[in-house]
Structures are given as structure tokens and as C-alpha cells.
Chains A and B, each alone.
Chain A
Amino acid sequence: MTEQHKVGEVIEACSTDFTAQCYELYRSPALGSLVKTRFELQGTDVQDAWLYGIVYQAQTASGDPGRRPIARGKEAQDEEEIYRDNPQLMKLLKSDFSVVVVGFKEGERIYQYLPPRPARIHGLVIPCTDEEVKQFSRSFDFINLLLKSRLEIPVEELVGAALRSMAQVYEAEKHAFLVSAGKELAGLLSADYAQLKAILKGLKNDAK
């Protein structure tokens, strides 16, 4: 993976999730998309170890918590003009995104459970290629991790976004992918038909 794909850098991490800062303002990967960051496997000679996560949150705010942005557009024609007239904004504002960890890869093997160690600060965050998404989504065990995560975002939304995002890479087999994912969900949510139905409704249009 070449570095030109990197979109951000880890600035905060724990076992279950991490937050990264975007290199470019507003250029955070889409909600639900699969990203990866390298991590170190101690005690093994595996060099190629990656941690996988799904973007569940993105925010943009002032880079300096003490200084809130102020409204600047009273005289401006449109938003773009504000940014043109205040180039410093691009430096002052920061976009962050948060990622829930859903597995890791050691050499060629992918595991869909939490890795032994969290991501490292300053680890580069790279969106996964279509091929990687396909490889990762061969198993649906990650769905359970998402359902069990305690995040600010409703899990129905997160699961829906993740599956829709993965479905994009399947093209012709998109429908089949969503049906099997749906079945996995049905197994996990067999005791909560209402929640299941809510998620499936969100997938319906993509499954056409």
C-alpha cells in the first residue's frame, strides 16, 4: 500500500476504537467505510500486520479547543467565498474521524475480533481498496462486533452504513451480498425483530 492513499493519522486510540485526524479538512472517509492502520504484533516476526476498523463518526472543529469558530459570512456571497477570504481557516479547523475496530490481519489471515493491542498514535490511516473490502467481508463476524459496540451513533445506522458501503464493491453480486449479510443479522437479532427490520429497511434500496 503506498502512502499516497493515507487520509489521516491516529491521534487517540484504545482497544475498541481510535480517532484520526484528516490531513485535509473535510476529507474524512465516508461513514461506514473500511479503513486500516498498521500495528505492531509483539513477539512475532509478522511484519505485515494491519488493524481494520469502520468509520463511525466524523467531526470538524477548531484545532484549538480554546478558540471557537465565529460566523464570518455576513458579507459573503456564498460559503466558498468565506473560505477564499479566510485562508487561515484551513489551518485553524481540523477534521477528525473515529473508527471502531472490527478486526485485524496478520500476514494473509484476517481475524474478526479485537486485536491484542490498540492502534498506535501517528499510525497512518488508509482506506481499504475494493479488493481488501471483498476479502474482509467474506466473513460476517464483524457485524456482531458492531452490534455490541457502545458508540454515540445508533448501531442500526452504523451497521446499515457499513454494509451499504461494502456492498458497493460487489457490483453484480450486490444483492446476494446484502441477502447473506441480512441473514447473518437475522441470526444475531433473532430476539429483536424490530431492530432487525429497521436495519433491513435501510439496506433494501441498495439490494435492488
Chain B
Amino acid sequence: MMQNDGNALFGHKLGVVVSGSLTHGIDVKLDGSASVEDMAVGRYVTIKGQKRRFFGMITDVTLGVVDEQINVSPADASDSFLAEVLSGTITFGTLHVLPMLTIGGGVVGVEDAPQPVKTIPSHFSAVEVSSQRDVESVFGKEDDKKFFIGTPLDMEVKICLDLQEFVKRSNGIFGKSGTGKTFLTRMLLIGMLQKSSAVNLVFDMHNEYGWEGRSETGYKVKALKQLFPEKVAVFTLDEESSRRRKVSTDAVVRIGYDEIEPEDIALLRQTLNLTENAVEASYQLARRYGDRKWIQTCLNMENNAETQAILESMNIHEATFRNLRRGLESIKRLAFLTEKNGENAVDRILKYLDSGMNVVLEFGRYTDLTAYILVANLLSRRIYNQYRERTERALGEEAKPPRPLVITIEEAHKFLNPEVANQTIFGTIAREMRKYNVTLLVVDQRPSGIAEEIMSQIGTKITCLLDNEKDIDAVLTGVSGKNELRSVLSRLDAKQQVLIFGHSVPMPVVVRTREYGSAESLKSFSSLGVAEKGKQVEKDIEDLWK
């Protein structure tokens, strides 16, 4: 059993409550023995009220003096005796603490479920660094539903996410570039494939989830399929790139022009530099020539009088048509597009998902946004439609509803910005929660680009460091204790530290995310898989880490 000595401060009385309010949090005067320099925003404290214990988070640290005169003639820093006496008395530190939950009836050992706070502790209640036990009673222990995601600051306690709850809503992972979004997403995907009943479909723009990823320092890290070959299939849009990277792929995805719909074009408006009118024209053309034929027809139209007559009859300006056509031409250049779709990628993906396999679609060399937006939207739309149909059928008849599905997309603001969120399938999925058993995991470095209405539907937000004010605002919209969390959020470490809040955690929590990459760390992820299987598998896996 791990002891609390992971945290030298554990159990130490830090100070006493001196003022505060439920809405703005409470102020704690630090005892002289507790140095402000040991405090950190995001750390947990337990407050022993008269009737109950409160669990809260440090959101600010300030310095105060009782007598302003000390600022006029400050103590000589070299006089350590004077400094020692003054600290905590005349000069003192104040912690600002946001109480979040009440635990127990004040009696240690009574394990009531944590409740949201409705009041605050009384004056002079003692404040301590939370014990491992308190943290565990709030966040629960690792089990077959709860996934160990990391540890709180300065504490060796596991913070666990209830992934069964997690996948019931759409969720978001945010953070500026290089803060660990990809590493975290990979880890969560592993968690979900182990501990939730959902299957995942990942649109893997940079080829880092399926087979292997790379760290910034250049070493390779194993990704899903290498770790869980029996649970993960890698699909690729770019066979050649996958082969070069020695990825064992399960299928090559081709997309036919006839599968592209005006909605896809609408989504690509900015990326392809199309005018509003051009997008409008695509809807008209599709109506006239049919969803399946309009693109080919458009591309085949020659620059002649006949074409002009047709355009005129539809009231499409010539410049508009040229604009649209130029856009379609650049789509056409994507080599994974075929004139006619020989094999239906959607069916294939669905077959895997139905059998409980998780699917990662690699984009290979198509790392530009056009390909990503087009493919992710197109495939998701059709898969979603299937899901909707099946769920509705399941409601009516006795058929089984499809397995819950989580779709992971990166650069989410491209799909969910206010301009397009109403038109895209992703907007629909986010808004509908999991009516049809599909939810999203959005990964984005610019959350301010995502429509507010969508943001508010996101169940659990996991955010790495953000430094742009607008992004911070966007992520925290509608969260209670916003100002306090803002100061926590903007002070996260640049890597491997996240703030988690929302549906699947009882209170906002700052976590140092679990290490991902070393053989040792990867082993810990697969422990569940090993327990399920026989010795041989165990040995195989053993070999795999080498």
C-alpha cells in the first residue's frame, strides 16, 4: 500500500479559514509554518468544518501584511530570526480556495458519497492538504470502469475517470500546440477500448494513433494497434505511406466522387476558398443532377453555349461556377478519390465497429485540411445515418441497438465553428448527445473557434495549457468558479498537465497525466488485457514491450 509520504505536506495544517463566500471561494490564512512557496494552484485541500469536511482546490496564493508599516521599513532578509517570527504573523500568505464538495458527515471514516457544496466552512476551520483517502473518496479507485489518467499535483494518488460515463456525452481535449493533446488522446482511446462498452473511430490526421507516434524528441511510441492488435484495425487512405512506415493495415479506403455531397463542399468553403454563391450552386446542381452524379457532371461540363444555357437556367453566375469548379478540381487531385467507389468504405468500417473493433483511419500523406475535412465529414455522416436508422429500428422492433460509437476528430473547430456547425454532421452529433449512440471526442488547439452552443454540449473537457484569453474563455464558458479555474488553467505546466472538468468528474481536477511511451508505462496500460488472457498472450505482450 502506498503511503502518503509522496507528499511531504500531507496532513499538515496549512492554516485557517478567515473569510469567503460560496460563490467566490474562501480565504485561508496560512500558518507561519506553511510557506507560500510550497503552495500551488490546483492542489487539493480538505477543510474541517464543524459539521462536515469540505474538499476544495487552491486557486490563488497571495501575500499579506497586518501592519503596512512593515512595507515602509521591511525586515532585513538576512535576519532569519525576524523573518521566521514575522512569517505567518505580521506577514502571511493567503490561499484562495474554491470549495467544491463536502465529504463525510465530518466524521473521518464515514464514507458518504461526496456532495456538491451548498455552504462554506465556518470561521477558523482548519485547512489541510488533502489526504490520499480524501482524494480517493472523491475520484474513486481504478476499476473496470474507472481509468487511471494521472495524479494530482504533488501527490501519489490516482485520479480516475469513469469512462462508462465519459462516453455517454461528447467530450473535448484542448490545449495549445505541443502540450500533450495527442498523447492524452491516445491514452484515453486505450482507456475507452479497455473500460467502456464503446468502440472508437479515429480520424488520424497525422498518423499517430494507429500504429506508432513520435515524441517531440524523436523517439517512437507504440500506438493502439501495436498494443491491442486484437481490438484495433488500421485503415489507410494512403497505402504507400502506410507501407513505408511498416504499418500493418487492415484496409485501404477509397472514396468515390459520387459520395461527395454539397454539405461536404459547404464545409470546405473556407479551405477551398469558395464563395457563398458557389456553395449555393453546388446544392442546386445536386438537386438537378442527383447527389450521386453532380460532381462528375460538373467536372465534365465543357465551356460552351450549352453549359451557359444550363447555368443561366439555374441562375448561376459564370464566375460562381468557375469558382466552384476550381474547388472541385482540387478535390479531384486527391488520389484516394475514385470516379466510382468500388468498395464501400462505410460498410467496411461499420463491419469492424460492429464486431467490437476500434478503427483508426490514417491519412498518410494527405495531411492537408481539405482531405481531412472531406473524408471525416463524409464518412461520419454516412456512418451516423446508419446508426440512426439502426437505433430507430431498435426502438421500434426488438433489434439490438448498435454499439456506442465515439468518433475522434482533430482540428475540431474546422467542423464546429459557428459558420458551419449547423450544417455538419458533427454539429448534429454534438447537439444530440447520444440519442443515436454516437458521441464525439474533439481534439483542438483553438477552442475559441468552436461554436459556443457546441461547447456547452461538451460533457467533459480536458484541457492542457491554453494561453490565449479567447480560448480560455471558450473552454470555461458556463462553468462555475470560472475565474478561479482561469487562473489554474493559465498556469498549467506546458506539458503533461491538464485540467479536467465536467460530466465525468465530481469536481474540476488538475492532473499530471500518466506517462506514456516507456516500456514500463505501456505495460501498465495493458494490465487489464493481460489478466483476461492466458499465459501465452502474456508472454507475447511481454515480448512486445522489448
Q: Which residues of B lie under 8 Å from residue A201 when comparing CB positions?
A: 82
Contact A190 to B67, CB < 8 A, known contacts A183-B32, A204-B81, A204-B82: yes
Report the bound CA distance from A191 to B32 in whole Å: 18
Task: Report B32 CB to chain A, min CB distance, Å.
Answer: 6
B82 contacts A197, C-beta separation under 8 Å: yes
Main SS at interface, chain B:
loop
Report the bound CA distance from A169 to B32 in whole Å: 24
Bits for B71-96, please: 1 = Cβ < 8 Å to A, else 0: 00101000101101110111000000
In the complex, which residue of chain A has the Cβ closest to the Cβ of B69?
Answer: A193
Report the bound CA distance from A35 to B85 in whole Å: 27
B66 contacts A179, C-beta separation under 8 Å: no
One of B66, B79, B88 near A183 (C-beta < 8 A): B88
Task: Report B524 CB to chain A, min CB distance, Å.
Answer: 44
Task: Report A136 CB to chain B, min CB distance, Å.
Answer: 21
* B528, CB-defined interface residue at 8 Å: no
In the complex, which residue of chain B has the Cβ closest to the Cβ of A204?
Answer: B81
Bits for A177-208, please: 1 = Cβ < 8 Å to B, else 0: 01100110111001111101100110110011
Query: How many interface contacts (CB-CB < 8 Å) are there between A and B?
Result: 45
Bits for A22-36, please: 1 = Cβ < 8 Å to B, else 0: 000000000000000
B67 contacts A179, C-beta separation under 8 Å: no
Q: Which residues of B lie under 8 Å from residue A196 when comparing CB positions?
A: 90
Report the bound CA distance from A190 to B91 in whole Å: 10
Bits for B85-122, please: 1 = Cβ < 8 Å to A, else 0: 11011100000000000000000000000000000000
Report the bound CA distance from A201 to B75 in whole Å: 11
Give the one of A178, A187, A196 with max B CB within 10 A.
A196
Q: Which residues of A lie under 8 Å from residue B81 when comparing CB positions?
A: 175, 178-179, 182, 200, 203-204, 207-208
Q: Which residues of A lie under 8 Å from residue B85 when comparing CB positions?
A: 179, 182-183, 185-186, 200
Main SS at interface, chain A:
helix
Q: Which residues of A lie under 8 Å from residue B79 when comparing CB positions?
A: 204
Report the bound CA distance from A203 to B84 in whole Å: 13
Q: Size range of the interface on B?
A: 10 to 19
One of A185, A193, A207 near B70 (C-beta < 8 A): A193
B67 contacts A191, C-beta separation under 8 Å: yes
Q: Which residues of A lie under 8 Å from residue B75 when comparing CB positions?
A: 197
Q: Which residues of A lie under 8 Å from residue B89 when comparing CB positions?
A: 183, 186-187, 190
Report the bound CA distance from A207 to B67 in whole Å: 24
Q: Which residues of B lie under 8 Å from residue A190 when comparing CB positions?
A: 66-67, 89-90
Q: Which residues of A lie under 8 Å from residue B88 when comparing CB positions?
A: 183
Report the bound CA distance from A56 to B85 in whole Å: 25
In the complex, which residue of chain A has the Cβ closest to the Cβ of B31?
Answer: A183
Bits for B428-444, please: 1 = Cβ < 8 Å to A, else 0: 00000000000000000
Task: Report B164 CB to chain A, min CB distance, Å.
Answer: 51
Contact A193 to B67, CB < 8 A, known contacts A183-B32, A186-B90: yes
Task: Report A53 CB to chain B, min CB distance, Å.
Answer: 26
Q: Which residues of B lie under 8 Å from residue A208 when comparing CB positions?
A: 81
Task: Report B124 CB to chain A, min CB distance, Å.
Answer: 14
Q: Which residues of A lie under 8 Å from residue B84 when comparing CB positions?
A: 179, 182
Report the bound CA distance from A31 to B73 in whole Å: 31
Task: Report A56 CB to chain B, min CB distance, Å.
Answer: 23
In the complex, which residue of chain A has the Cβ closest to the Cβ of B65?
Answer: A193
Report the bound CA distance from A201 to B73 in whole Å: 14
Beyond known contacts A191-B67, A200-B81: 8 more, CB 8 A cutoff: A182-B85, A190-B89, A196-B90, A200-B82, A201-B82, A204-B81, A204-B82, A207-B81
Complex A-B, nearest 5 residue pairs according to Cβ-Cβ distance, in ascending order:
A182-B85, A186-B89, A190-B66, A193-B67, A193-B69
Interface, chain A (partner B; CB < 8 A): 175, 178-179, 182-183, 185-187, 190-194, 196-197, 200-201, 203-204, 207-208
